Amino acid sequence: MTVLVAGAGGFIGGHLVRSLVEDGVAVRAVDIKPLGQWSQVCEQAESVEGDCSDPATGVRISRGIRTVYNLAADMGGMGFIESHKADCMLSVLINTNMLKAARANDVSRYFFSSSACVYAADRQRDQRVTALREDDAYPAMPEDGYGWEKLFSERMCRHFLEDYGLETRVARYHNVYGPIGTYDGGREKAPAAICRKIAHAVMTGPREIEIWGDGEQTRSFMYIDDCIRGTRAIATADFANPVNLGSAELVSINQMVSLVEEIAGVVVDRTYKLDAPQGVRGRNSDNELFQKIYGWEPSVGLREGLETTYGWIYDQMKAGFTRP
Protein backbone atom coordinates (compact mmCIF):
# COMPACT_ATOMS: atom_id res chain seq x y z
CA MET A 1 0.00 0.00 0.00
CA THR A 2 1.12 3.57 -0.63
CA VAL A 3 -1.91 5.60 0.54
CA LEU A 4 -4.17 5.26 3.57
CA VAL A 5 -7.63 6.87 3.58
CA ALA A 6 -9.08 7.06 7.09
CA GLY A 7 -12.82 7.61 7.08
CA ALA A 8 -13.09 5.80 3.73
CA GLY A 9 -16.63 4.65 4.46
CA GLY A 10 -17.91 8.20 4.53
CA PHE A 11 -19.15 10.39 1.70
CA ILE A 12 -15.94 12.25 0.85
CA GLY A 13 -13.70 9.32 1.77
CA GLY A 14 -15.50 6.97 -0.59
CA HIS A 15 -15.14 9.35 -3.52
CA LEU A 16 -11.48 9.95 -2.67
CA VAL A 17 -10.67 6.23 -2.61
CA ARG A 18 -12.32 5.74 -5.98
CA SER A 19 -10.44 8.69 -7.49
CA LEU A 20 -7.11 7.38 -6.25
CA VAL A 21 -7.58 3.80 -7.43
CA GLU A 22 -8.76 5.01 -10.84
CA ASP A 23 -5.35 6.66 -11.13
CA GLY A 24 -3.60 3.42 -10.26
CA VAL A 25 -2.78 4.27 -6.64
CA ALA A 26 -2.61 1.39 -4.15
CA VAL A 27 -5.05 2.36 -1.38
CA ARG A 28 -5.82 1.00 2.07
CA ALA A 29 -9.34 2.21 2.96
CA VAL A 30 -10.28 2.22 6.66
CA ASP A 31 -13.47 3.07 8.52
CA ILE A 32 -14.99 2.17 11.89
CA LYS A 33 -18.32 1.23 10.29
CA PRO A 34 -19.02 -2.29 9.02
CA LEU A 35 -18.42 -2.57 5.29
CA GLY A 36 -22.13 -2.89 4.64
CA GLN A 37 -22.62 0.65 5.96
CA TRP A 38 -19.91 2.29 3.85
CA SER A 39 -21.19 4.76 1.27
CA GLN A 40 -18.92 3.08 -1.30
CA VAL A 41 -16.68 0.02 -1.25
CA CYS A 42 -14.06 0.05 -3.97
CA GLU A 43 -13.03 -3.45 -5.02
CA GLN A 44 -9.57 -2.32 -6.11
CA ALA A 45 -8.73 -0.99 -2.62
CA GLU A 46 -7.89 -2.93 0.51
CA SER A 47 -10.94 -2.22 2.71
CA VAL A 48 -10.44 -2.54 6.46
CA GLU A 49 -12.84 -2.13 9.37
CA GLY A 50 -10.96 -0.37 12.14
CA ASP A 51 -11.21 2.31 14.83
CA CYS A 52 -8.74 5.06 13.94
CA SER A 53 -9.02 6.55 17.43
CA ASP A 54 -7.35 3.43 18.84
CA PRO A 55 -3.53 3.82 19.07
CA ALA A 56 -2.75 0.21 18.20
CA THR A 57 -5.08 0.29 15.20
CA GLY A 58 -3.49 3.50 13.99
CA VAL A 59 -0.02 1.98 14.05
CA ARG A 60 -1.20 -1.20 12.34
CA ILE A 61 -3.08 0.41 9.47
CA SER A 62 -0.41 3.04 8.71
CA ARG A 63 2.47 0.58 8.54
CA GLY A 64 4.09 0.70 5.09
CA ILE A 65 2.07 3.77 4.09
CA ARG A 66 3.59 6.79 2.35
CA THR A 67 0.62 9.22 2.50
CA VAL A 68 -2.24 9.41 5.00
CA TYR A 69 -5.52 11.15 4.22
CA ASN A 70 -7.31 11.60 7.53
CA LEU A 71 -11.00 12.26 6.82
CA ALA A 72 -12.28 10.25 9.79
CA ALA A 73 -14.57 12.12 12.19
CA ASP A 74 -17.87 11.81 14.01
CA MET A 75 -19.88 14.53 12.28
CA GLY A 76 -22.93 15.46 10.26
CA GLY A 77 -25.10 18.42 9.38
CA MET A 78 -25.91 21.31 11.68
CA GLY A 79 -28.61 19.38 13.52
CA PHE A 80 -26.11 16.68 14.47
CA ILE A 81 -23.26 19.07 15.28
CA GLU A 82 -25.32 21.18 17.66
CA SER A 83 -26.73 18.18 19.54
CA HIS A 84 -23.56 16.04 19.68
CA LYS A 85 -20.82 18.44 20.73
CA ALA A 86 -19.01 15.95 22.98
CA ASP A 87 -19.07 13.25 20.29
CA CYS A 88 -17.68 15.70 17.75
CA MET A 89 -14.87 16.76 20.08
CA LEU A 90 -13.91 13.15 20.74
CA SER A 91 -12.75 13.02 17.11
CA VAL A 92 -9.58 14.68 18.42
CA LEU A 93 -8.53 11.18 19.47
CA ILE A 94 -8.57 10.11 15.84
CA ASN A 95 -6.23 12.83 14.68
CA THR A 96 -4.01 12.53 17.77
CA ASN A 97 -3.44 8.82 17.37
CA MET A 98 -3.19 8.90 13.57
CA LEU A 99 -0.53 11.62 13.77
CA LYS A 100 1.42 9.60 16.35
CA ALA A 101 1.10 6.47 14.22
CA ALA A 102 2.22 8.33 11.09
CA ARG A 103 5.30 9.55 12.89
CA ALA A 104 6.09 6.10 14.30
CA ASN A 105 5.81 4.54 10.85
CA ASP A 106 7.80 7.25 9.01
CA VAL A 107 4.86 8.35 6.88
CA SER A 108 5.98 11.01 4.40
CA ARG A 109 2.82 13.10 4.07
CA TYR A 110 -0.27 13.58 6.26
CA PHE A 111 -3.46 15.31 5.09
CA PHE A 112 -6.10 16.50 7.57
CA SER A 113 -9.63 17.46 6.56
CA SER A 114 -10.60 20.49 8.60
CA SER A 115 -13.71 22.61 8.24
CA ALA A 116 -14.97 26.14 7.72
CA CYS A 117 -16.50 25.69 11.19
CA VAL A 118 -13.11 26.80 12.57
CA TYR A 119 -13.84 30.42 11.62
CA ALA A 120 -14.63 33.00 14.27
CA ALA A 121 -18.36 33.39 14.86
CA ASP A 122 -18.32 37.19 15.00
CA ARG A 123 -17.28 37.29 11.32
CA GLN A 124 -20.37 35.31 10.28
CA ARG A 125 -23.30 37.23 11.81
CA ASP A 126 -24.72 38.68 8.57
CA GLN A 127 -26.08 36.83 5.55
CA ARG A 128 -24.18 39.31 3.38
CA VAL A 129 -20.99 37.95 4.90
CA THR A 130 -17.56 38.98 3.65
CA ALA A 131 -15.86 35.86 2.29
CA LEU A 132 -13.66 34.26 4.93
CA ARG A 133 -9.91 34.40 4.52
CA GLU A 134 -7.62 31.85 6.12
CA ASP A 135 -6.39 34.27 8.81
CA ASP A 136 -9.99 34.94 9.92
CA ALA A 137 -9.79 31.83 12.11
CA TYR A 138 -7.96 33.93 14.74
CA PRO A 139 -8.65 35.32 17.31
CA ALA A 140 -10.35 31.98 17.82
CA MET A 141 -14.06 31.56 18.42
CA PRO A 142 -15.07 28.61 16.21
CA GLU A 143 -18.27 26.55 16.12
CA ASP A 144 -18.74 25.08 19.59
CA GLY A 145 -17.69 21.44 19.79
CA TYR A 146 -17.00 20.44 16.20
CA GLY A 147 -15.22 23.68 15.22
CA TRP A 148 -12.99 23.67 18.30
CA GLU A 149 -11.93 20.08 17.62
CA LYS A 150 -11.03 20.94 14.04
CA LEU A 151 -9.06 24.04 15.01
CA PHE A 152 -7.16 22.18 17.74
CA SER A 153 -6.36 19.37 15.30
CA GLU A 154 -5.07 21.90 12.79
CA ARG A 155 -2.65 23.21 15.41
CA MET A 156 -1.54 19.68 16.22
CA CYS A 157 -0.74 19.08 12.56
CA ARG A 158 1.27 22.29 12.51
CA HIS A 159 3.34 21.29 15.53
CA PHE A 160 3.99 17.76 14.24
CA LEU A 161 5.47 19.46 11.18
CA GLU A 162 7.52 21.96 13.21
CA ASP A 163 8.71 19.57 15.93
CA TYR A 164 8.95 16.23 14.13
CA GLY A 165 9.25 17.07 10.44
CA LEU A 166 6.05 15.23 9.45
CA GLU A 167 4.80 16.99 6.31
CA THR A 168 1.23 17.89 7.23
CA ARG A 169 -1.35 19.54 4.97
CA VAL A 170 -4.74 20.98 5.99
CA ALA A 171 -7.84 21.79 3.93
CA ARG A 172 -10.78 23.73 5.36
CA TYR A 173 -13.82 22.20 3.64
CA HIS A 174 -16.83 24.43 2.93
CA ASN A 175 -20.10 22.43 2.78
CA VAL A 176 -19.39 19.50 0.46
CA TYR A 177 -22.33 17.84 -1.32
CA GLY A 178 -23.06 15.43 -4.15
CA PRO A 179 -24.36 11.95 -4.95
CA ILE A 180 -23.62 8.80 -2.93
CA GLY A 181 -23.93 10.68 0.33
CA THR A 182 -26.16 10.68 3.39
CA TYR A 183 -29.55 12.27 2.73
CA ASP A 184 -31.60 11.23 5.76
CA GLY A 185 -31.27 9.98 9.32
CA GLY A 186 -30.09 13.21 10.96
CA ARG A 187 -26.51 13.53 9.69
CA GLU A 188 -27.36 14.92 6.25
CA LYS A 189 -26.44 18.46 5.26
CA ALA A 190 -28.65 21.13 3.74
CA PRO A 191 -28.36 20.30 0.00
CA ALA A 192 -29.16 16.62 0.56
CA ALA A 193 -31.95 17.41 3.03
CA ILE A 194 -33.62 19.83 0.63
CA CYS A 195 -33.31 17.40 -2.29
CA ARG A 196 -34.86 14.66 -0.13
CA LYS A 197 -37.74 16.84 1.03
CA ILE A 198 -38.62 17.99 -2.47
CA ALA A 199 -38.29 14.47 -3.88
CA HIS A 200 -40.66 13.27 -1.15
CA ALA A 201 -43.11 16.04 -2.07
CA VAL A 202 -42.97 14.98 -5.72
CA MET A 203 -43.58 11.32 -4.84
CA THR A 204 -46.28 11.71 -2.21
CA GLY A 205 -48.31 14.66 -3.40
CA PRO A 206 -48.39 17.21 -0.53
CA ARG A 207 -46.31 20.05 -1.90
CA GLU A 208 -45.00 21.43 1.38
CA ILE A 209 -41.55 21.30 2.95
CA GLU A 210 -40.07 22.51 6.23
CA ILE A 211 -37.02 24.80 6.18
CA TRP A 212 -34.81 25.30 9.22
CA GLY A 213 -34.59 28.98 10.12
CA ASP A 214 -36.00 31.75 7.93
CA GLY A 215 -34.16 30.52 4.82
CA GLU A 216 -32.18 33.73 4.46
CA GLN A 217 -29.00 32.32 6.05
CA THR A 218 -26.28 32.05 3.40
CA ARG A 219 -23.60 29.53 2.54
CA SER A 220 -21.39 28.37 -0.31
CA PHE A 221 -21.63 24.72 -1.34
CA MET A 222 -18.85 22.74 -3.04
CA TYR A 223 -19.57 19.82 -5.36
CA ILE A 224 -17.80 16.57 -4.51
CA ASP A 225 -15.72 16.44 -7.72
CA ASP A 226 -14.16 19.82 -6.91
CA CYS A 227 -13.55 18.66 -3.35
CA ILE A 228 -11.66 15.55 -4.44
CA ARG A 229 -9.55 17.43 -6.98
CA GLY A 230 -8.71 20.08 -4.38
CA THR A 231 -7.98 17.54 -1.66
CA ARG A 232 -5.45 15.74 -3.78
CA ALA A 233 -3.85 19.02 -4.88
CA ILE A 234 -3.48 20.26 -1.29
CA ALA A 235 -2.13 16.92 -0.07
CA THR A 236 0.66 16.84 -2.64
CA ALA A 237 1.67 20.52 -2.77
CA ASP A 238 4.49 22.25 -0.90
CA PHE A 239 2.22 24.75 0.89
CA ALA A 240 1.85 23.70 4.54
CA ASN A 241 -0.62 26.18 6.09
CA PRO A 242 -4.39 25.58 6.23
CA VAL A 243 -6.18 26.63 3.05
CA ASN A 244 -9.85 27.08 2.15
CA LEU A 245 -11.37 24.47 -0.12
CA GLY A 246 -14.81 25.64 -1.16
CA SER A 247 -16.94 27.32 -3.76
CA ALA A 248 -17.23 31.11 -3.72
CA GLU A 249 -20.85 30.98 -5.02
CA LEU A 250 -22.84 32.42 -2.11
CA VAL A 251 -26.55 31.54 -1.94
CA SER A 252 -29.32 31.64 0.64
CA ILE A 253 -31.14 28.50 1.66
CA ASN A 254 -34.28 29.90 0.04
CA GLN A 255 -32.39 30.36 -3.22
CA MET A 256 -31.18 26.76 -3.06
CA VAL A 257 -34.74 25.54 -2.49
CA SER A 258 -35.80 27.47 -5.60
CA LEU A 259 -33.04 25.80 -7.62
CA VAL A 260 -34.17 22.33 -6.54
CA GLU A 261 -37.78 23.25 -7.32
CA GLU A 262 -36.73 24.15 -10.87
CA ILE A 263 -34.79 20.91 -11.23
CA ALA A 264 -37.72 18.83 -9.93
CA GLY A 265 -40.31 20.78 -11.91
CA VAL A 266 -42.46 21.63 -8.89
CA VAL A 267 -43.29 24.53 -6.62
CA VAL A 268 -43.64 23.77 -2.91
CA ASP A 269 -45.13 25.65 0.00
CA ARG A 270 -42.48 26.49 2.57
CA THR A 271 -42.91 26.45 6.33
CA TYR A 272 -40.12 27.82 8.49
CA LYS A 273 -38.96 26.23 11.73
CA LEU A 274 -37.35 29.21 13.39
CA ASP A 275 -36.16 27.34 16.49
CA ALA A 276 -34.27 24.68 14.50
CA PRO A 277 -30.44 24.57 14.44
CA GLN A 278 -29.15 27.08 11.89
CA GLY A 279 -25.47 27.65 12.59
CA VAL A 280 -23.94 30.99 11.66
CA ARG A 281 -25.91 33.57 9.70
CA GLY A 282 -23.59 33.67 6.71
CA ARG A 283 -20.44 31.90 5.51
CA ASN A 284 -18.50 32.01 2.25
CA SER A 285 -15.07 30.93 1.05
CA ASP A 286 -12.41 33.41 0.03
CA ASN A 287 -10.40 31.56 -2.63
CA GLU A 288 -7.64 34.09 -3.28
CA LEU A 289 -4.97 32.01 -1.54
CA PHE A 290 -6.14 28.77 -3.17
CA GLN A 291 -6.06 30.36 -6.64
CA LYS A 292 -2.59 31.77 -6.02
CA ILE A 293 -1.17 28.39 -5.01
CA TYR A 294 -3.03 25.97 -7.30
CA GLY A 295 -4.07 28.12 -10.26
CA TRP A 296 -7.76 27.20 -10.18
CA GLU A 297 -10.72 27.14 -7.80
CA PRO A 298 -13.84 24.98 -7.33
CA SER A 299 -16.02 25.79 -10.31
CA VAL A 300 -18.94 23.33 -10.55
CA GLY A 301 -21.99 25.59 -10.32
CA LEU A 302 -24.59 24.90 -7.68
CA ARG A 303 -27.37 24.23 -10.16
CA GLU A 304 -25.23 21.73 -12.08
CA GLY A 305 -24.22 19.92 -8.90
CA LEU A 306 -27.75 19.90 -7.52
CA GLU A 307 -29.12 18.37 -10.73
CA THR A 308 -26.87 15.35 -10.27
CA THR A 309 -27.44 15.18 -6.53
CA TYR A 310 -31.22 15.48 -6.75
CA GLY A 311 -31.37 12.87 -9.49
CA TRP A 312 -29.38 10.39 -7.42
CA ILE A 313 -31.42 10.98 -4.24
CA TYR A 314 -34.70 10.76 -6.15
CA ASP A 315 -33.65 7.44 -7.69
CA GLN A 316 -32.65 6.03 -4.27
CA MET A 317 -35.95 7.04 -2.72
CA LYS A 318 -37.96 5.77 -5.67
CA ALA A 319 -36.20 2.40 -5.39
CA GLY A 320 -37.20 2.21 -1.73
CA PHE A 321 -33.81 2.91 -0.16
CA THR A 322 -33.53 5.26 2.78
CA ARG A 323 -29.74 5.49 2.96
CA PRO A 324 -26.91 5.21 0.46
Q: How far apart are CA 38 and CA 43, in angstroms?
A: 13
Report which of 86, 84, 30 is spatially closest to residue 53, judged by C-alpha positions. 30
Other beta carbons within 10 angstroms of residue 261's beta carbon come to: 18
Predicted confidence at residue 254, as pLDDT, reads 97
What residues pair up with 271 in beta bridges, in sequence order?
A: 210
Neighbours of 204 (CB within 10 A): 8
Give the separation between CA 123 and CA 228, rounded to whole angstroms: 27
Report the predicted TM-score, pTM, of the whole model to 2 decimal places: 0.95
CA–CA distances in Å: residue 226 to residues 1, 71, 190, 322: 25, 16, 18, 26
Report the CATH architecture of 177-219+249-285+300-318. Alpha-Beta Complex (3.90)
The CATH code for residues 3-175+224-245 is: 3.40.50.720
Per annotation, catalytic residue among 69, 110, 119, 146 = 146
Instruction: Write out the chain's pLDDT in tens, 324 residues.
Output: 699 999 999 999 999 999 999 999 999 999 999 999 999 999 999 999 999 999 999 999 999 999 999 999 998 888 888 899 999 999 999 999 999 999 999 999 999 999 999 999 889 989 988 999 999 999 999 999 999 999 999 999 999 999 999 999 999 999 999 999 999 998 999 999 999 999 999 998 888 999 999 999 999 999 999 999 999 999 999 999 999 999 999 999 999 999 999 999 999 999 999 999 888 999 999 999 999 999 999 999 999 999 999 999 999 999 985 544
Rounded alpha-carbon distances, angstroms, from residue 13 to 9, 47, 111? 6, 12, 12
Q: Which residues contact 7 (CB under 8 A, 6 or more apart)?
A: 13, 30, 31, 52, 70, 71, 72, 73, 113
pLDDT at 1: 64
- Assign 176 to helix, strand or coil: strand
The domain segmentation of the chain, as residue ranges, is 3-175+224-245, 177-219+249-285+300-318
Give the length of the chain: 324
Residue 272 among the catalytic residues = no
Q: What is the pairing mode between strands 27-31 and 3-6?
A: parallel
